[in-house]
Amino acid sequence: MTQLESKGTAAPAKRTLQGSLGVTAIVFMVVAAASPLTVVGGAAPLGILLGNGVGFPSLYAISGVVLLLFSVGVAAISRHVAKPGAFFTYVGYGMGRPMGLASAWLAMLTYTTIQISVFGYIGFVLGFTVESLGGPALPWYLYSLAMIALVGILGYRHIELSSKVLSVLLVLEVGIVLVMVAAVVFTGGEQGLSAEPFYPSNIVSGSPGIGLMFAIAAFIGFEATAIFRDEAKDPGKTIPRATYAAVIGIGIFYTLASWGLVMAWGPDNVVDVAAEDPGSMIITTMARYLGVVGEVGVNILLITAMFACVLSFHNVITRYQHSMAGAGVLPDRVGDVHAKHLSPHVSSLVQTATAVVLTVLFAVLGLDPVLQVFTWFAGVATLAIAILMALTSLAIIVYFARTKKDKRVWNTVIAPALGFVGLVLSAVLIAANFPMLVGDVDADGNQVFGLVSGFLLFLIVAFPVFGYLQALWIKAKHPEAYTKLTDAIAA
């Protein structure tokens, strides 16, 4: 008997999330997780500087195409697997329960590390901002803990409250970037408008592998649409539409915004400008084209963008944990649903506690909030999500080949296969450059697989291995529970 069945007939109502989220609401939440302004202000300058320079905007377009191919398969399987567990559910249905649980724990690592990395960064930015305005010089982790508390309060309540908050913040951060691009277009930029970022010679210049790493990382979050299935209005239509809208919208926005950044300084100058101070490049650009209003506005919105990011990921993680509890692989209480807010409130509390413990641990260890907390764990999340999506693509192909439930070759074979190839290549490039991403370099600046990169890569291996072994243990010790593991994972 599973943990779910032991609750009796009242359990399903207690454990079922409810809502009426439409396509727009879900898109806003998952795009907020991708944090567009943070990407344009942080990742794009680094991609230009360390990647392929002027050609970096093209990598957003390439990444968007790869992930759109991936989304075709996800949309197809979401119509037949009516479960909210998303990736780990799809992998379970396609490749068996052990692989499903392995994917579940890899997903947990992905979203937990990306969330805690942004908590570290937002703590640093808040501390710097307050001090620059004449406020007290407080440690970064106090601001991080305050943000964790605020996110926890919103995450505890009904999802529609988070949706409204995220919608407002997302419109503001996207809006200011589009205004900047419009100003660049209107003035003609530094050297005139051109398509140089998309010239083949510029795409392959410099280090396109490193640039692709930053581009793929910028999309993390869009894939979580299926997690909100139980809270969606008409999920059979809402989830596929939201998935397509999210990846297409993000891809177009990043490509346009980074092109605008290149045009703002000119193809001949943009790399040098990024080298001077990549962290403040977006602020300098805003000040140049939008004046003081743009400079102050982007400073404020960078903070709210990061808050929107961690709030969105908090909601994603709590629903992953809720689904895993429903499958009997996490404590039963984690699957409880609040009687009033209809939210996975216990799961929310667990995730809030996890963020607090990790933040305190990093503070005790004396880690730098940007160079270590943010960079290290964003690197883990980037590689883990590429592996997770590649595995999901393969599982989708296997599922439809076995069940014959959908005979559309493009949707069930060709597109997922192309997405799989693109994601595997991306994962290989990310892994090869992982030491650089986390700062493992020798005295000459050459990347080496040292203690830090070795430990972080170990985490990416250890979490799915634990999940796989957990499934085998359940099968050996509790065969009835293993057979009925279909609440979230099946084969």
Q: What domains can be seen in the chain, in order of their start residue? A: 5-487 (1.20.1740.10)
Q: CA 374: distance to chain centroid?
A: 14
Q: CA 228: distance to chain centroid?
A: 15
Helix (H, G, I), strand (E, B) or coil at 2: coil
Per-residue pLDDT tens over the stretch 432-451? 877 876 767 666 666 667 78
pLDDT > 70 in the chain, percent: 84
Rg (CA), the chain: 22
pLDDT at 59: 94
Q: Which of the four pLDDT bands, split at 50, 70 and 90, describes residue 488?
A: very low
- Crossing angle for the helix pair 235-265 and 281-326, to the nearest 10 degrees: 160
**Residue among 372, 156, 189, 167 at smallest CA distance from 269:** 189
Q: Which of the four pLDDT bands, split at 50, 70 and 90, describes residue 57?
A: very high
Q: Are 127 and 349 in contact (CB under 8 A)?
A: no
5/101: higher pLDDT: 101
Per-residue pLDDT tens over the stretch 459-482? 999 999 999 998 898 888 878 777
pLDDT at 212 over 90: no
Distances (CA, A) of 234 to 15, 241, 317: 19, 11, 22
pLDDT at 5: 37
**Residue among 77, 53, 169 at smallest CA distance from 395:** 77
Distance CA 118, CA 105 (A): 20
Q: Which two tokens stand for residue 148?
A: 């964790």
Q: Are 425 and 437 in contact (CB under 8 A)?
A: no
Distance CA 154, CA 16 (A): 19
Distance CA 363, CA 361 (A): 5
Q: Which of the four pLDDT bands, split at 50, 70 and 90, describes residue 254?
A: very high
Distance CA 292, CA 308 (A): 24
Distance CA 389, CA 418 (A): 12
pLDDT at 424 over 60: yes
Q: Are 221 and 316 in contact (CB under 8 A)?
A: yes
Q: Across 71-80, 214-223, 307-316, which has the greatest mean pLDDT?
A: 71-80
pLDDT at 8: 37
pLDDT at 210: 79
Q: CA 363: distance to chain centroid?
A: 24
pLDDT at 231: 63
DSSP assignments along 162-209, one per residue? HHHHHHHHHHHHHHHHHHHHHHHHHHTTTT----GGGSHHHHTSS-HH
Q: Which two tokens stand for residue 128?
A: 């710097």
Q: Residues 227-248: what's their mean pLDDT?
A: 76
Per-residue b/e over 146-180, b at no fewer than 16 CB within 10 Å?
ebbeebbebbbbbbbebbebbbebbebbbebbebb
Handedness of CA 236, 239, 240, 241 (dihedral sign): positive
pLDDT at 216: 86
- Direct distance between the N- and C-terminal alpha carbons of the chain, in angstroms, rounded to an integer: 18
Q: Which of the four pLDDT bands, split at 50, 70 and 90, describes residue 325?
A: confident
Q: Residues 344-368: what's their mean pLDDT?
A: 91
Element (H, E) at 36: helix 36-38
Q: Are 115 and 320 in contact (CB under 8 A)?
A: no
pLDDT at 226: 66
Distances (CA, A) of 395 to 83, 95, 98, 215: 15, 6, 13, 24
Helix (H, G, I), strand (E, B) or coil at 408: coil
pLDDT at 279 over 90: no
Distances (CA, A) of 437 to 62, 210, 455: 21, 9, 14
Q: Are 82 and 322 in contact (CB under 8 A)?
A: no
